[in-house]
């Protein structure tokens, strides 16, 4: 069993944190940790709120999905998705499509 195997060698490492020569700065660790922090997931609600605040009109989530499909962005499977659509997909107007693209740029999706 691998869980009972003894190590071949051991390396002891002593790290000192703080100010001074040979010490690791705590600020540098915080900066590096921030770089590895995952980005917040952008929701359709966030996109809708951004567009309403900036442009003064509302967009339907179907329009956001259609623009994402058009741009080839990844889409998550909806738990309530159906095999066959009851109605054809609605396409957003040019003005709304541009607002959605602007919101996606704002949230760094594209």
pLDDT in tens, 6-53: 777 888 887 777 777 777 777 777 788 877 877 788 899 999 999 999
CA distance 62 to 83: 16
> Within a domain: residue 61?
yes
For the chain, give the mean pLDDT.
Answer: 84
Helix boundaries (H) for 1-110: 26-36, 44-55, 61-71, 94-106
What pLDDT sits at residue 2?
59
With respect to residue 89, please indicate whether it lies within any of the assigned structural domains.
yes
Q: Measuring CA to CA, how many Å separate 65 from each of 60, 70, 76, 84? A: 9, 9, 10, 17
Q: Is residue 6, in this structure, part of any structural domain at all?
A: no
Residue 45: the pLDDT is 94
The β-bridge partners of 24 are 17
Residue 15 inside a domain? The answer is: no
Confidence (pLDDT) at 48? 94
Cβ proximity of 89 and 62 under 8 Å: yes
Which position has the higher pLDDT, 58 or 39? 58
**Domain range holding 75?**
44-106
- Does residue 4 lie within any of the structural domains? no
**What pLDDT was estimated at residue 68?**
92
11 belongs to a structural domain: no
- For residue 35, tell me if it sits in a domain: no
Q: What is the pLDDT of residues 68-80, one digit of tens each?
A: 989 998 887 777 7
**Domain count of the chain?**
1
Predicted local confidence at residue 1, as pLDDT: 52
Does 13 fall in a domain?
Answer: no
């Amino acid at each position: 069993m691998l869980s009972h195997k003894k190590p071949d060698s051991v390396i002891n490492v002593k790290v000192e944190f703080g100010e001074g020569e040979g010490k690791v700065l705590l600020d540098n660790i915080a900066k590096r940790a921030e770089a590895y922090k995952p980005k917040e997931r952008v929701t359709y609600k966030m996109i809708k709120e951004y567009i309403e605040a900036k442009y003064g009109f509302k967009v339907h989530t179907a329009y956001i999905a259609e623009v994402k499909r058009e741009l080839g962005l990844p889409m998550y499977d909806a738990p309530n998705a159906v095999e066959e659509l009851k109605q054809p997909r609605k396409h957003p107007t040019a003005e709304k499509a541009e607002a959605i693209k602007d919101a996606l740029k704002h949230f760094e999706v594209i």
